[in-house]
Amino acid sequence: AQSVTQLDSQVPVFEEAPVELRCNYSSSVSVYLFWYVQYPNQGLQLLLKYLSGSTLVKGINGFEAEFNKSQTSFHLRKPSVHISDTAEYFCAVSASAGGTSYGKLTFGQGTILTVHP
């Protein structure tokens, strides 16, 4: 089974400042990793994903994340945030091989990013 821990429940930041949202995962098998974003009163949208290859992945809206296998982390970063980035961000993991649970996504508890002017 897989599990995800998002280390910060809330992250306040000023506009144009950099931000990092932290995510650690636990799994006994290789994994795929995802970040989803949820704007108020909406469903979740895919921000970016790590499947294989380069450990630095770029997503939409200027976000990027780095997969660190030794630290079992997949932290999300943006060098300069905008007011419109205010949302809740979810890290998710799924096993990359076999079994009935293949394809099942396990989500973290979410991190609320609030960007202040």
**Which residues contribute to the site for other proteins (CB under 8 A)?**
32, 34, 36, 42-46, 49, 51, 90, 94, 96, 100-110
Please identify, using beta-carbon distances, which residue of 55 and 109 lies nearer to other proteins.
109
| Other residues' Cβ atoms within 10 Å of the Cβ of residue 27 | 17
Residue 105: strand, helix, or coil:
coil
Output the smallest distance, CB 68 to other proteins, in A: 19
Which of 114, 117, 73, 116 is CA-nearest to residue 91?
73
In angstroms, what is the minimal distance from the CB of 31 to other proteins? Answer: 10
Smallest distance from other proteins to CB 111, Å? 11
Cα gap 14→16, rounded to integer Å: 6
Nearer to other proteins, 15 or 27 (CB): 27
Helices (H) and strands (E) in the chain, counts: 0, 12
Q: Which is nearer to other proteins, 73 or 106 (CB)?
A: 106
